[in-house]
Amino acid sequence: MSGTPLSLYNTLTRTKEAFTPLDPDNVRMYVCGPTVYDFAHIGNARPVIVFDLLFRLLRHVYGADKVTYVRNITDVDDKINARALRDFPDLPLNEAIRRVTEKTESQFLSDVAALGTLEPTVQPRATDNIAEMQALIADLIAREHAYNANGEVLFAVDSMADYGQLSGRNLEDNLAGARIAIDAHKKNPADFVLWKQSAENEPGWDSPWGRGRPGWHIECSAMSERYLGQTFDIHGGGLDLIFPHHENEIAQSRCAHGTEVMAKVWMHNGFLQVEGQKMSKSLGNFVTINDLLQTGAMGGHAWHGEVLRLAMLMTHYREPIDFSVKRLEEAESKLRDWQRAARGAETGEADEPDASVLRELADDLNFHRASVALDLIAKKANRDEGHARQCLAATLQFLGFSLDSLLTSDEGWEEPPHIAAAIADRLAALNAKDFAKADTIRKDLAEQGIALMDYKDEAGARQTKWEIKR
């Protein structure tokens, strides 16, 4: 474990706090994943990219095998049912739903892999955790935090003294909220669904409360408990999930388990916007990850996944982003500059990412300042400082950027190992004052069309550059 102290902004306390894991041997993070009914848009990619960066940093600080990252797949939802009926009207509903969710899930996974994000440790599907959800609901009923009314099991918000802590809303705010339907069967209009009955033609599972399906919020309470325990370190997602989704996850988990804390740190990424508006399916102002990767949906050509990811990271994760072609062009040129500067670096397993880059990221994921530090290292690498080149390469790899994805085949050409070996032999000969041998090596290479130039590096040590004679 390296000594980088982390600080993270916690939505729950509205302050940046020093991060101390509950168990440094198993640092646990849960991030809400996609509802799989359609292609993910580039706004949906933001939490994937932001929490991937945090995952990489945690793995570096605590050890790659000491971090558990869970990102769920929501594969039961009324939007999925509607899509299945629309796209496969002739199939039995179960089969139609399976087609929609399987196709969308594999599309999502290949999209986010193309962005260069790491796979989470576990990616549970909601439909594989129905029994766990039912157990949680039974606990909530037993502890009198939930009741059965009109064919639904509802969570009683009045049963939790400090409901609303995360969003800072009180129940009066909720009453005023237009989004909460006034339903006569609810004890409080803010009560939310844990389980609802399914009609014949809707997907359903048998339960003590009739054949039905879970509400959305209970999914994440059940899956986080199964894989991370009743209390864990970090819970993340986009800003829009604070209320009601995360508020209700907290209510369910804490009340079912009788605990004070569900997750210690709650982190939320800002919105990706188009002309000042949140990108969303419902507004229709979206562009899919797949379009950006495959077609000219923005700027008239396809973009490399690493460019999309860098474009996203250039703005601090809590700030809104206006996604534009200009931003993508900037990201592309920055990544190409870094890759050019790292060209020819020899990297090995033991290479450490740059300490100043790590320090900036450890400060609530300040990628912008980290990228300024990277620019400085690239400058040094361009002055032919071998150490800087190696450090740049190692840092890019730590961040999940490849070393040559944007370089032309000519730029990406690697130094043939026999040249490096000959240069090393010659330097050894020069240092041993064996000038005859050094000369022979120089002549041999010259015959292959390779010219050598000697220079001194910053530490005053003799170094050699080479180029192809024209």
Q: Which residues bind ligand AMP (CB under 6 A)?
A: 32, 34-35, 43-44, 46-47, 237-238, 240-241, 269, 271-272, 278-280
Q: How far is the CB of 19 from Zn ion (least distance, A)?
A: 21
Q: Does an H or E element contain 215, and which?
A: none
Residue 77: closest CA among 52, 56, 49, 97? 97
Q: How far is the CB of 327 from ligand AMP (least distance, A)?
A: 14
The SS3 of residue 168 is coil
Q: Does an H or E element contain 194, and which?
A: strand 192-197
Q: How far is the CB of 249 from Zn ion (least distance, A)?
A: 6
Q: Which is nearer to ligand AMP, 241 or 377 (CB)?
A: 241
* Partner interacting with residue 220 (select from Zn ion, ligand AMP, none; CB below 5-8 Å by kind): Zn ion
Residue 342: closest CA among 372, 312, 386? 386
Q: Which is nearer to ligand AMP, 278 or 343 (CB)?
A: 278
* Partner interacting with residue 378 (select from Zn ion, ligand AMP, none; CB below 5-8 Å by kind): none
User: In this structure, what token pair is assigned to residue 135?
Assistant: 């157990």
Quick note: the x/- pattern for Zn ion over 233-252, rule CB under 5 A, is: --------------------
CA distance 350 to 370: 21
Quick note: the x/- pattern for Zn ion over 27-66, rule CB under 5 A, is: -----x----------------------------------
| 220 belongs to the binding site for Zn ion (CB under 5 A) | yes
| φ/ψ of residue 322, rounded to 5 | -95, 115
Q: How far is the CB of 279 from ligand AMP (least distance, A)?
A: 4
CA distance 380 to 386: 9
| 255 belongs to the binding site for Zn ion (CB under 5 A) | no
72 close to 29: Cβ distance less than 8 angstroms: no
Q: Which amino acid is at 224?
A: S
CA distance 35 to 182: 26
* Partner interacting with residue 120 (select from ligand AMP, Zn ion, none; CB below 5-8 Å by kind): none
Q: Which is nearer to ligand AMP, 202 or 240 (CB)?
A: 240
CA distance 175 to 229: 33
265 close to 12: Cβ distance less than 8 angstroms: yes
Q: Which is nearer to ligand AMP, 216 or 398 (CB)?
A: 216
Chain positions contacting Zn ion, by CB under 5 A: 32, 220
